[in-house]
Amino acid sequence: MNAKRLLPSLWIVILSLAAPSLSVAQALPKPGAHPAGAAAIFAGGCFWCMEEAFDKVPGVISTTSGYIGGHVKNPTYEQVSTSQTGHAEAVQVEYDPAKTSYEKLVEIFWRNIDPTERNAQFCDHGSQYRSAIFYRDDEQKRIADASRAALQKKRPFKGEIVTEITKASEFYPAEGYHQNYHVKNPVRYKFYKTGCGRAARLEQLWGKPGS
């Protein structure tokens, strides 16, 4: 089955199933500064899936889905989904540096995206689904640049790496119903993730998990 052809009908089903949650939590959380302690910001397509990937990492304290890299203040999901605000769906990862490192998080990021797709990830298309590392300081930029350069030399897949490495702007938390979606709505989440072909494509790119 061609996952890309599922996009219109798949999202209609997913969003219609989520409709009860939308009426409960319409308001955006207040956009604030990065959380206390060490934090990293990554964009890898659907932020539901990126949350799940980082939630599994020992040393990760919390993950927050949100929007970054655009020109509209306090954007809503409906605005971002038009591709007109310039934002990317992203996840902000708060972590304990004594238990994991930024280098490790960058490595996990690569393994959970398709770095060869521009303005798209898996079945989702549009600039809001672009892949990117949003660095917060010079050290994060150095690590991200070095990691991309090393991957470019030893990549296990064909195609050039088009993932952006760019300075973080203000991060806006997404609406409440998007947070921890894979935990709160496991059936709907699995339906989306499977239909989008994410796991299958990641295995094509990187091999089987743990290999």
**Residues labelled as active-site residues:** 46
- Within 13 Å, how many C-alpha atoms sit on residue 67's CB side? 28
Q: In this structure, how many other beta carbons lie within 10 angstroms of the beta carbon of residue 37?
A: 11
Q: Which of 160, 106, 154 is nearest to 132 (CA)?
A: 106
C-alpha pair distances (Å), 98 with each of 34, 56, 82: 19, 17, 40
- Distance of alpha carbon 4 from alpha carbon 136, whole angstroms: 33
Q: Which amino acid is present at 206?
A: W
